[in-house]
Structure 1
Amino acid sequence: MKCPVCSDSSLHITSLESRLNASCCSDCQGQWISANDYWTWLKHHGETLPEKEPDELPIQADDVQRAKLCPECKRIMLRYKVGHSLDFRLDQCGSCNGVWFDANEWEALKQRNLHDEVHLIFSAPWQSQVRKDEARKLLEAIYTEAFSDDYGKIKEIKSWIENHPEQEKILNYLSNEDPYEIGASNSAN
């Protein structure tokens, strides 16, 4: 098999984990794991480990961002965002379901205990959550810029209102242009 990144380099078999073989490239340090090898390893791996928070010094992965051909069946692989504060994508063959890990991607997943959930990364629910998390980050950045130093206080007030037993009355008061006007449509009752 040839490396999908280096094209001319042949992949050699190595043991990535106990009971998990991978085909590695000596040049780019990428790793190919066949779907069969992954599922066999996962079956013997035991219980799924809980996800860990990012370390202060996370492992930097080489995310080669060009199209790659599957080393097994030569079809173009699809790229999937990992998410969970990991800023790289995994390449999966849509035909044989094998996965290509650019240099250090497996190690970065393992550092966070996500290496035993690789199969979930390619699922619709996982990808949907990745998109939601990205949208949330984007909106957080917009609000931070728009409100600058007041943003923390605004979030504090919002939380206070959300947890207050008289939430509806407070929101009525705040949304009424003149809550003291007699006959106002939004009374405090």
Structure 2
Amino acid sequence: MQTNSIETQERVAMKCPVCKSPELHATDLEAGLTFFNCPECGGNWVRGVAYWKWLEHHGPNLPERWDQDSGLSLAEPGIHIDCPECRFRMVKYLVGHGFSFTIDHCEGCKGVWLDRNEWEALKERNLHDDLNSMFTSFWQDGAQKEARKKRLEQIYVSRFGPDDYAEIERVRAWLATRSNKLDLLAYLTDKDPFDV
């Protein structure tokens, strides 16, 4: 009798890709979606096929909620990990949309590793049903642009100080609404606008 690969893999103990030693335990973190949880680091492995099946029965894609500020403590180890199922090196993808963490995706078996509380954080903002979209170049372009903007903002705050940065942002936003913006900028940058 021949068994399919999923049945075989369920009988083979999967090790945590972060901690390396503890076995992952099957748990239903979401109705109809089985995760494999690490009892030590709290990370979760979700199989790609299982996630797709869950999405099919999940219903329509939920609109993103920006007003949710998660107080969850996230564990982003920042290390490259290997897939617990097929041992491929997993690829890190930026989540973006206000989140600074990455999720790990296996290009081999299409599974996803979520560090502790990442699923919960995504769910609070209705992004848990967008995992597969996060692996697209469109999503990643937006997430990388957001990350660059955040890094530049940190540089400007460091250079100008928080109060001056807030004020220059206020002035910048005001200038953007003016039809004579170039004249106003010329006035501001002129050493002595009254020296004619």
**Category of TM-score, reference length = shorter chain:** 0.7 to 0.9
Q: 1:121 aligns with which of 88, 111, 134?
A: 134
Runs of 4+ with >6 A deviation:
none
SS of residue paired to 1:110: helix
- Does the 8 A contact of 1:60 with 1:108 survive in 2? no
Equivalenced residues, count: 182
Q: 2:60 aligns with which of 31, 38, 47?
A: 47
Change (3 A) 1:178 1:121: same
Whether 2:131 is the aligned partner of 1:131: answer: no
Q: CA RMSD in A?
A: 2.5
Change (3 A) 1:87 1:175: closer
Q: Deviations over 1:126-183 (max 9, x none)?
A: 222222112212222232333333333332332232212233443455556676677x
SS of residue paired to 1:10: coil
Other-structure match for 1:76:
89
TM-score (norm 2): 0.78
Aligned mates of 2:120, 2:23 — CA distance in 1: 22
Structure 2 alignment gaps of length 5 or more: 1-13
Aligned mates of 2:41, 2:167 — CA distance in 1: 48
Structure 1 counterpart of 2:181, one-letter code: Q
Aligned mates of 1:115, 1:57 — CA distance in 2: 14
Aligned mates of 2:40, 2:169 — CA distance in 1: 49
Q: Percent identity?
A: 41
Q: 2:171 aligns with which of 153, 157, 164?
A: 157
TM-score (norm 1): 0.81
Change (3 A) 1:172 1:80: same
Aligned mates of 1:35, 1:45 — CA distance in 2: 15
